[in-house]
Structure 1
Amino acid sequence: MSHTLAIIVLAAAGAVMVIAGLLFFRHPRWLLTWIKGTAVFGVILAGLYVLVIAVNLSSYHSLVGLQTAASISTQRQAEQIWQVSLQSQDGLSVVRTLQGDQWQIDARILRFTGPFRWLDIAPGYRLEQLSGRYTSLEQERSAPRTSIGLAEGIWPDLWQWDRQFNLPFVEAVDGSMTFMPMRDGAVFEVKLSSSGLVAVPVNEQAREAVQFWNQ
């Protein structure tokens, strides 16, 4: 099922369930027993939950297999000061200054279980934050750090709710990747799967930076 179709199906199903439940209350004679009344509340709550999932999914991008989420390039401006350019596959373009020796991208991933998995709804992802870090522990504690938000907040935040309350049928995954070295002229591709992110060096400067960093 495509990402757009999944959003439409979930939103429609949630709306129908809520409306159907509310219609029961317009005809009290239908509520013959406490069990039936409880079932009505259950239908409404289930519908609202499905609507929340649909609203949240609309702010995520479909994730199928291993795919390139963004490209990152770094240009040295001064000692431990870098101009970092990010170009995502969904058209997001960010050019900011980071301080430090390494960079990292954080992402949120939503995976689905139970009936949503039976509907073949693909996981969703969104890039959340780009940040810098110092290799020196002393600098990391005292020097200024920079982080750049890549997504706007949403309410209700299903990803955060699942991390706190372990909601049914969804699984919030922290897509943080390993910090990567900054090098003048280096270009990386950020690959993303349903289990997390990995940075792949694209040009010689990036490969040299990774090789030197791993020594």
Structure 2
Amino acid sequence: MNWNEVLRLPTTLLVILTGVLLLLALVQLLAARQHVRHRRHLTATGHSLLLVVFLLLAAFLGGIAMSLRGYRFFNEEAPVVQIDAHILSPQRWALTLTWPDGATRNVMLAGDDFQVDAIVLKWKLPAMLAGLPPLYRLDRLSGRYDDASQEMSAPRTVIDFSQAGAADLFDLKKQVPRWFPEVDTVFGSGAFLPMVDGGHYNVSLMRTGALVARPDDATAQRIGQPFGG
């Protein structure tokens, strides 16, 4: 397990904090029961109030953790995914996706190009000054045709990477923006490149929120165009 990658998941950190709060709540519960047995009701009431506070905080952080499933912190440039392409038939491809934590997934894609889309969340100035980095999550991978008319009529393939479902922060921000006053912007970013047989691509996200796809040198030569870093 790559712990550096795990700790870049805000959900992981929030779950840890939620666990700590639940442990503190348990301590308060045991202390309250102990004081009740010894008829120290005022002290028991104080521990009970702390128990409620810790439980409410744990529920709050747990809810935020669910809305941030799939998101990651990033700094100057964050590697998002590596893609290896192998052709099956004209405009039909088998792709192997490798995430920074070492996880892999095999998918089938139709088209001439692959397109990767991500959701990026930026904070307002107070949160940024406090050192809270932007968040991102990989949203989807899709096939793209070079011919616009074929794009409208040919079979489309879209691989959905969303994990949070209806509780995703991207949707919640649009539905109830007043609930998230510290969120500055939530926007999409995409990048695409032509697929070649045996191609290897690195997809990264810049701190500006721009998604960048780069082929390695051999793949760039096979594409026939100079793609820079």
Same fold (TM over 0.5): yes
Match for residue 14 of structure 2? 7
1:181/1:210 contact within 8 Å kept: no
Q: Which residue of 1 aligns with 2:31?
A: none
The corresponding residue for 1:32 is none
User: How far is 1:92 from its partner?
Assistant: 3.3
Q: Tell me, yes or no, if structure 1 residue 173 matches structure 2 residue 183.
A: no
Pick from 151, 156, 162: which aligns with 2:167?
156
Match of 2:50 in 1: none
- State the AA in 2 paired with 1:149: D
Residue of structure 1 in register with 2:108 after alignment: 97
Q: CA deviation at 1:128?
A: 1.4
Q: Per the alignment, do residues 72 and 186 of structure 1 end up closer, same or farther by CA in structure 2, a change over 3 Å counting?
A: same
Q: In 1, Cα distance between the equivalents of 2:129 and 2:123?
A: 9
Q: Within 5 Å, which residues of 2 pair with 1:49-128?
A: 52-128=63-139
Counterpart contact for 2:68–2:164, Cα < 8 Å: no
Q: Distance in 2 between matches of 1:120 and 1:8?
A: 20
Contact 1:73 1:186 in 2 (8 A): yes
Deviation for aligned residue 1:64: 1.2
Instruction: Answer yes or no: is the 8 Å Cα contact 2:201–2:216 preserved in 1.
Output: yes
Cα distance between partner residues in 1 of 2:81 and 2:157: 20
Return closer, same or farther for 1:208/1:78 CA change in 2, 3 Å cut-off.
same
Higher-Rg structure is: 2
Q: Is the 8 A contact 1:162 1:171 kept in 2?
A: no
Compare 138-147 and 165-174 and name the one that shifted more.
Answer: 165-174
Q: Secondary structure at the match of 2:14?
A: helix
Whichever residue aligns with residue 7 of structure 1, its letter is L
Structure 2 CA distance, aligned partners of 1:172 and 1:51? 23
Aligned to 2:215: 201
Percent identity over the alignment? 31
Letter in 2 for 1:203: D
Tell me the C-alpha RMSD between the 2 structures.
3.3
The separation in 1 between residues aligned to 2:226 and 2:70, in whole angstroms, is: 38
**Equivalent position SS for 1:117:** helix
**Structure 1 residues 186 and 118, CA, compared in 2 at 3 Å: closer, same or farther?**
same
Q: 1:56 to 1:183 in 2, by over 3 A?
A: same
CA contact (8 A) 2:14 2:62 kept: no
- Greater mean alpha carbon deviation, residues 153-162 or residues 99-108: 153-162
- What SS does the corresponding residue of 2:191 show, helix, strand or coil? coil
Q: Point out where structure 1 has 5 or more consecutive residues left out of the alignment.
A: 16-45
Tell me the alpha carbon deviations over residues 3-26 of structure 1, each in whole angstroms, 9 at most, x when there is no partner: 5586369869x99xxxxxxxxxxx
